[in-house]
Amino acid sequence: MIIANPLYDTAFKRLIGDLDVARSLLSVLLQKEVLEVDPQVTEHLKPQNVDDQRPRCLRVDYVATIRDEKGEEQKILIEVQKATGAEDTMRFREYLAVAGYMPKETEKTPIPIVTIYFLGFQLKNISTPCLKVERQYVDMLEGRVLEAKEKFVELLTHDAIIIQTPRINTGDSPKTELEKLLSVFEQKNFVDLLGESTINYKYPIDDGYIRKMVDILHYIGTDPDERAKLDNEAYWNRHEENTTGRLLKMEEKVAEQARELADLRQKNMNIAKNLKKLGVPTNQIAEATGMTNDEIDALPT
């Protein structure tokens, strides 16, 4: 079945904007019963030129009522965010800085936050496609984990779930609830290899909420009007990759080279200092490190 790539803003917003899908998705990821979700959609326009009609970027907030391990009901703020590149990290931080303190129409006081990130890129040191980051209360004097929870701490820190979509590989047939959910976001079997905006979803469907997710994405990927929005977003994604994206990558490469050069210079300075202390002639130190005689003479002994 042809479905829209859920990493595209056009599809992502429609998908998690459905309350039944949102409730099921959050229940699987949080591993808790989600009783109710109250969406609070926040959209942020990308910078636009006069002739630039690119789609919006967005994050979606939910005030969710969950049932915890003790059977008690609790309200938490769920931040669902999506990024296709690592440069969006600062945008995540800006959203979080606002989320905990922005007054909500339905809430008079701050509530705990859980963040869920859908990434279109891979983290360097984490291989799992679905990572859960949980807090622990640790008594630093005794080195033991505390079981007690404190509202002050809960409001100032948060748990997170990070999904690396390029690392999702559910095999021939996803079996667990989590695998079935992740299969919808799997980044392979693209129909249009250039834009990667549509995917051929080949897995069997035996869960109602998975069927609804796939049906929503199928509609977006095949309906002429919705597909036009998807194609428009794919166009601007390619445009940004070929312009802004190349510039950012070039800037990152230059910055990395500058860091490497600074590290190398520091290493050479350390070597030169040691050789100078040993009484090695300045010209030999210069030959070994690439430093000038004046630079070596200025080094402290």
Tens digit of pLDDT for each residue in 125-134?
999 999 999 8
Q: Which residue has the tokens 């994604």?
A: 237
Tens digit of pLDDT for each residue in 176-213?
999 999 999 999 999 876 668 899 999 999 889 999 99
- The answer to whether residue 188 sits within a structural domain is yes
Tell me, what amino acid is at 48?
Q
Highest mean pLDDT among 25-29, 38-42, 79-83, 297-301: 25-29
pLDDT of residue 187: 92
- The answer to whether residue 135 sits within a structural domain is yes
Question: Which residue range forms the structural domain that includes residue 269?
Answer: 250-297
Q: Is the pLDDT of residue 89 over 80?
A: no
Pick the residue with more confidence: 161 or 10?
161
pTM of the model: 0.68
- The answer to whether residue 94 sits within a structural domain is yes
* Same domain flag for 87 and 167: yes
Q: How confident is the model at residue 135 (pLDDT cuts 50, 70, 90)?
A: confident
* Same domain flag for 31 and 170: yes
Mean pLDDT of the 149-175 span: 87
* Same domain flag for 191 and 263: no
- The answer to whether residue 231 sits within a structural domain is no
* Same domain flag for 254 and 119: no
Residue at a domain's end among 146, 175, 205: 205
| CA–CA dist 5, 253 (Å, integer) | 30
| CA–CA dist 160, 153 (Å, integer) | 15
The total domain count for the chain is 2
- The answer to whether residue 217 sits within a structural domain is no
* Same domain flag for 192 and 286: no
Q: How confident is the model at residue 101 (pLDDT cuts 50, 70, 90)?
A: very low
* Same domain flag for 20 and 154: yes
